Amino acid sequence: MPLSQNALKVLEKRYFAEGETWEDLCGRVTNKVAEDETSASARKKWARTYYELIHDLTFLPNSPTLRNFGRNNGSGSACFVLPLEDSRKGIFKTLSDAVDVQAYGGGTGMDFSNIRPRGDRVNSTDGRATGPIKTMGIFDYTIGDIIKQGGTRHGANMGILRVDHPDIEDFIASKTLEGELKNFNISVGVTDAFMRAAAQNDDYDLVFNDKKRKTVKARAIWNAMVAAAWRNGEPGIIFLDTINKHNPLAAAGRITATNPCGEQPLRPYSSCNLGSINLNAVVMGNWISGKACINWKKLESITATAVRFLDSVISTNHYPLEEIEQITKRFRQIGLGVMGFADLCIKLNLRYGSKDSVKIARKIMGTIYSQALETSGQLAEERGPAPFFEQFETGATPRRNGALTSIAPTGTLSVLADCSSGCEPHFGFNYTKACLDGEKLAMMPAVFREWLDKTGNNQLPDFFATTDEISLDEHIAVQAAFQNSGVDAGVSKTLNAPYHTTKKAVSKAFFRAWKAQCKGITFYRQGSRDVQALYAEVATAAKSADDTLKRGELKMRPRATTGPSLKMKTACGKLYVDPHFDNEGVIEVFIRTEGGGCTANTKALGVLLSYCLRAGIAPEALIKSMKAIHCTACTRAILSGKNVEVNSCAAGMGKGLDIALQNTPIYRKVMEQLEDAEVHFSEEGRPTTSSAMCPDCGSPLHRTSGCILCSSPDCGWSRC
């Protein structure tokens, strides 16, 4: 299948060597991996097999493999976890190691729970400890602002803190202000004991080095986590006991950290190379007419080849640290997963999140895992088992790879393959993806384009579901189906939800994910950040040159408009933002405050915004400017833990406009169904333009540009 324009942009920006083509890239990668074979004929055979798989976008290895193999000494692994000790030497050894890993193209995860709490006495210097959050700040600056990951992007990190650490409350609030710790994702490591305590609102001890420092209500910590995730998507949660209960490498020790996207819980100095099967490749039949099915034999064949490929990456790889090479070759852990699951659901005419889609997710992952086990067993006979099985008594049949499966987010890989990412639903069918150091890609999924090309019908069936149309329970059901049907490691999955989702709903979803044996969970509410990677484009009606507004001219407001009324909490009280639409788009906005704030100023801003909108200024430009405004009162309130939803009243106004624009089609439909206001006005027996007289001067009234005006030039009365 041909590469899309977006794929070519990404390849040229991140993957191609100078003058390289897609064919060249596939050749250098597969020839390098095939060097693991023992004979020239085997190398030639497998290089060709791998080439066809990657070139046809049926299977893609993770980005570092595509970028580095056969080109430089960079690593082919994407996921790393590093240890972190509570000493100056330990901290800066890990910082140095992280810099090396990032330079090789990998992302790092670290557990900061061993770092002593802020303010603790340091015996060697009689000083005071800065604590885990300040330590994270050192890593954030060094890795993110000084070192670029693999020379192509800023570093990616996961910072984890146990829920019983004395600094947990500060950790939860550490990313309240957007832009703080910008190169870190953060997650709270929770235990089953904490989850039970939170459910029952029991007391919970915060401890360090087995000494109790403070007793809190578990529900208070839980509520703070939920509120922070609801506010801007962080922290996420990793369920430590679930991870270790279902860890095939448990005999080697307990896991406390994951890679940056959470799909790889790893031991210290472990790494993993990932690869994803494009599920579009195993759908056969005419899906437009509802006659598609899965080619299970092909799925098994792709899996077998992919496992061999990923195992050979371990053998032919370059490693940033000697410790990482030793641990990786001891466990020989690979992470085979999928992408294109949402596409597959559409082609099978299944709504993502439905019971049937959950069943098919279980069957797909079960098939992949069964074949991966079989192939890894065969590789153990051919090449020898992973040393892990010789060093530890596991009770399992020795195989070539200690762990086999994982589902990554495939953010960039899915752009290359022109498919839906990982096991996520489609974000939309016409949206923008921000990547490539600020470059924006216009995204229209291939499955949607194919539907339009073959049917000419843009009225989509209900199985074309987007993330906002899928309930939190359905999101979790899909994640749990993959996790519990054959995923050794974890599943990268975000609960993308509409802006109006409540904190209570988030709390219920997190509990449901824990009970469903998910290994971690992340929540994101659309529009809750000023900057987000995916956002819907608002279609605007095309205008002819004759319709263009002249300088200083305002578009006339029709008698009837429609729109939402949105309430937000500020540091001064409640802010109400009511954007209103005509049949083309948003045309005005009414703003008021309650319980505090300056009523006159907010009303004036509403008038000015309305004039801007009626003057033809793009609402997106207004939104960007308004949401960038911060006020001291809101910032202070947020930092003190108060339930404030916006950075300023102005930012709230921008956010209100943003939310309304995401639902433009809804309001357009409402406007289409509204009666003509003037006709309705006349039918009610009220003044008409043919018989009514001006209430001010008694002159006849007439209609102009949808408004009723006095005919006397000396009067100027208007009903608009």
* Residue from 79, 261, 423, 435 carrying the catalytic annotation: 261
| Residue 53, SS3 per DSSP | helix
State both tokens at 251: 């005999």
Taking CA atoms, 265 is separated from 246, 335, 492, 563, 639, in Å, by 11, 11, 11, 45, 31
The dihedral sign for the CA sequence 377, 381, 382, 383: positive
Q: How far apart are CA 486 and CA 468, in angstroms?
A: 27
Pairing of the two strands 79-82 and 107-111: parallel
Q: Which amino acid is present at 21?
A: T
Contact 174, 133 (CB under 8 A): yes
606: left (phi over 0), alpha (psi -120 to 50) or beta: alpha
Active site residue 261: yes
153 φ/ψ angles, rounded to the nearest 5 degrees: -160, 160
> Which residues have a Cβ under 8 Å from the Cβ of 571 and sit 6 or more positions away?
631, 633, 634, 636, 637, 642, 644
Strands (E), 15-147: 59-61, 79-82, 107-111, 121-122, 127-128
Q: In 233-316, which residue ranges form alpha helices assigned H by DSSP?
A: 240-245, 296-316
State both tokens at 462: 């209900």
Q: How far apart are CA 156 and CA 689, in angstroms?
A: 66
Active site residue 263: yes
Q: Which residue reads 């605007």 in tokens?
A: 540
State both tokens at 686: 């009220």
* Residue from 79, 114, 183, 263 carrying the catalytic annotation: 263
Contact 3, 23 (CB under 8 A): no
| Residue 163, SS3 per DSSP | coil
Q: How far apart are CA 513 and CA 481, in angstroms?
A: 11
Angle in degrees, 0-180, between the axes of helices 296-316 and 22-33, rounded to the nearest 10: 70
Contact 428, 466 (CB under 8 A): yes
Taking CA atoms, 719 is separated from 588, 681, 685, 694, 696, in Å, by 17, 12, 16, 10, 11
Residue/partner pairs of 663-672 with CB below 8 Å, 24 or more apart: 663/564, 664/538, 664/539, 664/581, 664/585, 664/586, 665/539, 667/562, 667/563, 667/581, 668/581, 668/583, 668/584, 670/562, 670/581, 671/560, 671/561, 671/562, 671/581, 671/582, 671/583, 672/583
* Residue from 114, 247, 259, 278 carrying the catalytic annotation: 259
| Residue 216, SS3 per DSSP | strand
The secondary structure element, H or E, covering residue 257 is strand 257-258
State both tokens at 148: 């670029």
3-state percent helix, strand, coil for the chain, nearest multiple of 5:
40, 20, 40
The secondary structure element, H or E, covering residue 450 is helix 446-455
> Which residues have a Cβ under 8 Å from the Cβ of 643 and sit 6 or more positions away?
227, 569
Q: How far apart are CA 484 and CA 88, in angstroms?
A: 41
Q: Which amino acid is present at 541?
A: A
| Residue 465, SS3 per DSSP | coil
Contact 271, 82 (CB under 8 A): no
Contact 219, 128 (CB under 8 A): no
Active site residue 259: yes
Active site residues: 259, 261, 263
